Chains A and B, each alone.
Chain A
Amino acid sequence: MDQTSLVERASQGDHEAFGVLVSAHLARIDTAARLILRDPDLARDAVQDATLRAWKNLRGLREPSRFGPWLHRLTVNACLDIVRKRRGQRFEVELSPLHELPIPDPTARVADALYMERMLAAIDPAQRAVIVLHFYLDLTLPETAAALGIPVGTAKSRLNRALEAMRIRVADESESAATTTASEPVA
């Protein structure tokens, strides 16, 4: 059954269809939440909040094909809600053990992952949200900005500051970002 039919059935109250819809995105949004929140339990809470919000508001979704990006946005916003509620509390914990990474060339990828984890821990959740939306969930800068409810220019500067703080240079990013911002008006 395609996504359109699933969305239609789910919006008529079929929660099994909704389960099928969510299952296609669950691993990805769970990882996104873990990257932003750096806490598996909080990430699970955020995903459950986001999926429940999606279920309640599913009848407002006019384009079933937009279910995935919509769920991503709900997830990131649920993460940021949790961050806001827990502001002032520390909840930085270890993520998954690196020795379990299924990688063909462990040396380089483990080093990258270690570096990435350290750097993610060094930036704030709002910056992590931009990194995750743009680089992990593959949203364009305007989509990232829309997901966070901020102007495109703000999203771009927040992304640049995050990358700078992480001491990361993305070889193909400046070109694509420049193209994106040239064609999209800055809100």
Chain B
Amino acid sequence: MNRSDMTPRSYSSDQLRAALDDVGGHARPDYLDDIVARAGRTRQRPRWTFPERWLSTDIAGPRQRQPRTAVLAVVLVLLALLALAASAYVGSRLTRPVDLGIAEPTPGRIDCGNPDHVGAILGCSRDGTRLLIQKGVENLFILDADGSETQVTEQLTGFDALLGSSRPAGATISPDGSRIVFAGLTTKREEWRSCHDGALFAVAADGGPAELLWRSHVPQNGIVMYPTFSPDGTRIAFTDGYCDSSHSVWVMNADGSDAHQVLVPEDIGLEAGHVHGLAWTPAGDRIALIYEGGVYTFATDGSDFRRAHPFEVFCWPGNKTC
């Protein structure tokens, strides 16, 4: 017979209970001893492990949502703390100094990163046999691996004003070691002026007449600094701007042509400030600079400006691997 065809039976609660009792079979369980024995073999959970003892709920009562919510909240807080710790760790790695790639000394070659050399090291040739150094504030020298030394600027009498360059405006040696480009002045230095008309000059590493490559785009008091050859020697990056601040980054061909401004810090939301120490990546596709205490990088067309990645390697002055 189909159950749905059956007429419903009517019971009182007591009758229903009695019927269930009958179906249950009036159990007389004989395993109480087993229960007690198992209890004797089993350790009870310590009292302090029951959160219910400190909460408003009881273990025998209905399960409350409150403890679950509390547990969920604790889990979320822990996850948030974990995320904060992770971001702090990643952030600390991102702000680590850039690997300057200083190489270990190699026999027969100049250690470009060794500060024991006399004077300030401004760069070295790619093969590590020629080192460009500055002695005092006025003269550039080429130091060869065989120990010989060439003063590059002694023949620059026609540009005596550059000898008065008041700051280490920077110089760079081409990767093949044949050419020096340095920053100087196009007018005679005068004591009362703190800034002069800056320019870039090129000279052969063996000496000879210097040629004017670039004159500051600032009409007066402009200063050009940090000329830096690209790793392939075809381009030079440098800074130009007012001597007190507002420096921008320029790139031109090695022969001085096609100079163009690629980065103006104020245009990307940075405060006007001093740019220091340009460097190229070994691939020549990005440039790094130090700007107001931070190291930043950007593509050679000035795009993709960002804080330096800790694992990026740049051809900083003194890095012979570039």
Contact = CB atoms under 8 A, between A and B. Distances in A.
Given A109-B18, A170-B16, A15 B27 contact: no
B227 to A, nearest CB: 76
Contacts of B43: 56
Nearest to A11: B44
B89 interface: no
B32 A22 contact: yes
Interface in A52-82: 52, 55-63, 66-67, 69-70, 73
B268 interface: no
Given A56-B44, A63-B60, A48 B31 contact: yes
B26 interface: yes
Given A51-B35, A55-B42, A109-B19, A30 B29 contact: yes
Interface in A10-49: 11, 13, 15-16, 18-19, 22-23, 26-27, 30-32, 34-35, 44, 47-48
B32 A112 contact: no
Contacts of A168: 8-11, 16
Nearest to B38: A52
Nearest to A132: B20
Contact of B47 (A26, A31, A60, A142): A60
Interface in B74-108: none
Contacts of B45: 56-57, 59-60
A83 interface: no
A62 B23 contact: no
Contact of A112 (B13, B19, B61): B19
Contacts of B17: 135-136, 138
Interface string B21-41: 111111111011111101110
Interface in B150-201: none
27 contacts: A15-B36, A15-B39, A18-B39, A22-B35, A27-B29, A44-B31, A47-B35, A52-B39, A55-B39, A55-B42, A56-B43, A57-B59, A58-B44, A60-B47, A62-B52, A62-B58, A63-B58, A66-B61, A67-B60, A70-B60, A95-B24, A100-B26, A102-B26, A109-B22, A145-B62, A147-B62, A149-B62
Interface of A: 11, 13, 15-16, 18-19, 22-23, 26-27, 30-32, 34-35, 44, 47-48, 51-52, 55-63, 66-67, 69-70, 73, 95-96, 98, 100-103, 109-110, 112-113, 115-117, 120, 122, 131-132, 135-136, 138, 142-143, 145-147, 149, 165, 167-173, 176
